[in-house]
Amino acid sequence: MNERFLVVMTFVLGLSCSGLIAPAPSLFAASVSDNGPRPNIVLIMADDQGWGDLRCHGNDIIQTPNLDALAEQSVQFDRFFVSPVCAPTRASLLTGRFDVRTGVSGVTNRLEVMRAEEVTMGEVFRAAGYRTACIGKWHNGEQFPNHPTGQGFEHFFGFCGGHWNNYFDTTLEDNGRRVKTSGYITDILTDAAIDFVTRSSDKPFLCYVPYNAPHTPWQVPDKWFDQYAGKGLDAATQSAYAMVTNIDHNVGRLLKAIEQQRSRTIVLFLTDNGPNGNRYNGNMRGVKGSVHEGGVRVPLFVSWPGTLPPKRVEQIAAHVDLLPTLAELCGVKLSVADNRPLDGRSLVPLLKGSVTEDQWPDRMIYTHRSRGTSTPFGAVRTQQYRFVRERQDQLYDMVADPDQKTDISQTKPDAFRRLQAAFDRYVQETNASIAKIEPIPVGFPESPQVELPAVEAMLSPGVRFFEGHGWAHDWAVDFDQQGDELSWPLKVHTPGSYRLILRYACDSSGVGAKLQVEAGEQSGKVVVSDEFNSPLRDRSERSDSKGLRSVRDFADLEAGTYHLNAGDVSLTLRHQSDRSQPLEIDSASLVKVSDDR
């Protein structure tokens, strides 16, 4: 898996307006052209920064001088679309395939995990001789081989979950090793990116920098927050703008670090969804999570001085287009190797010259948003129309009515039915990809210890997540009665013996609680002998809201050693006490002790 030399590439027939994707083979084997040195790539993506969080997009409050200058030097895509939330956008960007095809349909409970057999941008460019790094927020799987180092990135520095609780002096991961950092997280990530690009002169490089700001928590240094004092903003918007301005500062630092390489470095900037709050967004309808225009339209700047003249592109484009586009720009030649179709088009014709409608036919860009129902919310975007499925189906003319004020489904019945049918076919075609939750991979030599977060477990009735949603860093509570269960589905790569460690909290009433562990064909018992009642505390945050998230600490509990056979295995933790003995479970860990010989 680590060294696969299959890469997903270039051209897929862009979804014609007459229907869904025509079946086309488009998983390719990589080779490299001999047309001179290959360009470097710096791909920067902000988290929850909306289209309107830039001064160059008409926001007269926010300060983004470096990003505005980058925009002026770039090909700017005026109608560029991503997914409504974080993990799906990342999966599509990395693979050139719509998120649900990769197994990703949400942001937690393993709905965010991209299948390991998907071929990513990291694998594509590493196979082509590039040095590859992912520095920031991954959010497409924590355990190897779903981890970035199992998906083509030789260097990873950051975190794998959907969000991070602490942005100051935090602990991050450096290729599997936990490291304590000093300073503000966006500055620290930029330091790591600068270090990577300045040490990569021997080969071309792909440096993917998915920042985690301005995603909550609203944590930002006073230096940036105070710039927006007295401007009539609520604390959340003031924080978001401060975090974006800090990102802008760090983008300037990163561009300065590659100044001597700019003529041979392609720099891209985009964001992963609409704004995470109701703030200026160009009068578009919707914010993060919405399938309307404001939830999925974001900036895309593509800068390559001396090669790509700055201009504005009006044709619609999407995250799935970046992989085939970068491959073509970098001279990666491709030949068919498998039947895993891309959804993206190479945007090179738009980047390098004017194209007519005949040369660039209209297309359909699909949006999927799971709501825990068999019928997802979603949308289909063409150059003129946006079809939207929510509780009822709608149609908008995005040329005549960019603010989506008027549903024209009754007055344009032919266009409405055509896009409605296309969306139905898309849902039918992709449902199988997300019908089954991927089990947690265990037993790869690259990862001798595997974390099993409570949010990736199945909970029996009555057991719940403390915060309710089961987002990253949540934990299981009301685990207190006989028969209560947490169960993790596993896929064991290498059979052998594994030590189980539980991370728990309880007050004195939980001491003596009896637990049964069922690990595949083996079982064991463990008794909670010590109280660990750490205080519950609010996560530090600049906010007017009273609904702050809570955090707490947990203790380790040795829970025995178990033999796991290869294949699908269930690891179940069952409460066995005959009276109420409440425990809170944060996670479990499996540590490889020995392989079968």
CATH number at residue 228: 3.40.720.10
178 and 38 share one domain: yes
- Cα–Cα distance between 114 and 140 in angstroms, integer? 5
Residue 172's beta-bridge partner residues? 179
Tell me the mean pLDDT in the region 450-467.
Answer: 97
| CATH number of the structural domain spanning residue 495 | 2.60.120.260
Tell me the mean pLDDT in the region 252-257.
Answer: 98
pLDDT band (50, 70, 90) for residue 25: very low
pLDDT score, position 167: 98
> pTM of this prediction?
0.93
- Record the tokens describing residue 375, joined without a space: 């019928």
pLDDT score, position 548: 80
116 and 251 share one domain: yes
Q: Does residue 159 lie within any of the structural domains?
A: yes
pLDDT score, position 7: 32
Q: Does residue 390 lie within any of the structural domains?
A: no
Closest CA to 380 of 278, 391, 410, 369: 369
270 and 155 share one domain: yes
pLDDT score, position 339: 58
346 and 445 share one domain: no
Q: Does residue 402 lie within any of the structural domains?
A: no
Token pair 């927006």 is found at 228
Query: For the chain, what is the mean pLDDT?
Result: 91
- Under 8 Å CB-to-CB from 568, ≥6 apart: which residues? 439, 489, 490, 491, 492
Neighbours of 357 (CB within 10 A): 9
Q: Does residue 346 lie within any of the structural domains?
A: yes
Rounded to the nearest 5°, which phi and psi values hold at 441? -75, 135
pLDDT score, position 14: 35
Lowest mean pLDDT of 341-345, 523-527, 580-584, name the range.
341-345
pLDDT in tens, 27-47: 444 555 556 689 999 999 999
Residue percentage of the chain with pLDDT more than 70:
91
User: Residue 185: left if φ>0, alpha if ψ -120 to 50, beta else—which one?
Assistant: alpha
Helix axes 322-329, 86-95, angle to 10 degrees: 30
Tell me the mean pLDDT in the region 498-509.
Answer: 97
302 and 445 share one domain: no
Residue 329, pLDDT above cutoff 70: yes
Burial (0-12, 13-18, 19+ Cβ within 10 Å), 203 = exposed
261 and 123 share one domain: yes
Token pair 């409050």 is found at 61
Q: Does residue 489 lie within any of the structural domains?
A: yes
pLDDT score, position 1: 35
Compute the C-alpha angle 510/501/447, nearest 5°: 155
Residue 400, pLDDT above cutoff 90: yes
Residue 379's beta-bridge partner residues? 367, 388
Q: Does residue 426 lie within any of the structural domains?
A: no
Tell me the mean pLDDT in the region 509-513.
Answer: 96
Tell which wins on pLDDT, 193 or 24. 193
Amino acid at 44: I
pLDDT score, position 96: 95
Tell me the mean pLDDT in the region 486-503.
Answer: 97
- DSSP letters spanning 168-207: BS-EEEETTEEEE--SBHHHHHHHHHHHHHHT-TTS-EEE
Domain end, chosen from 318, 336, 355, is at: 355
Tell which wins on pLDDT, 176 or 37. 176
Tell me the mean pLDDT in the region 364-382.
Answer: 86
Amino acid at 433: S
pLDDT score, position 149: 97
- Cα–Cα distance between 55 and 69 in angstroms, integer? 10
The number of domains in the chain is 2
Helix axes 65-72, 235-257, angle to 10 degrees: 60
pLDDT in tens, 528-578: 999 999 999 989 999 876 668 899 999 999 999 999 999 999 999 999 998
Residue percentage of the chain with pLDDT more than 90:
85
Domain span including residue 584 = 440-595
452 and 349 share one domain: no
453 and 348 share one domain: no
Q: Does residue 310 lie within any of the structural domains?
A: yes
- Under 8 Å CB-to-CB from 18, ≥6 apart: which residues? 418
179 and 283 share one domain: yes
pLDDT in tens, 65-84: 999 999 999 999 999 999 99
- DSSP letters spanning 328-387: HHTTEEEEEEE---------HHHHHS---TTTS----EEEEE--SSSS-EEEEE-SSEEE
Q: Does residue 415 lie within any of the structural domains?
A: no
H/E segment holding residue 325: helix 322-329
Domain end, chosen from 333, 355, 377, is at: 355
Neighbours of 155 (CB within 10 A): 20
43 and 167 share one domain: yes
- Cα–Cα distance between 213 and 84 in angstroms, integer? 16
Closest CA to 242 of 472, 169, 234, 164: 234
Domain end, chosen from 315, 336, 355, is at: 355
Residue 5, pLDDT above cutoff 50: no
Residue 4, pLDDT above cutoff 90: no
- Record the tokens describing residue 437, joined without a space: 């939750």
pLDDT score, position 24: 34
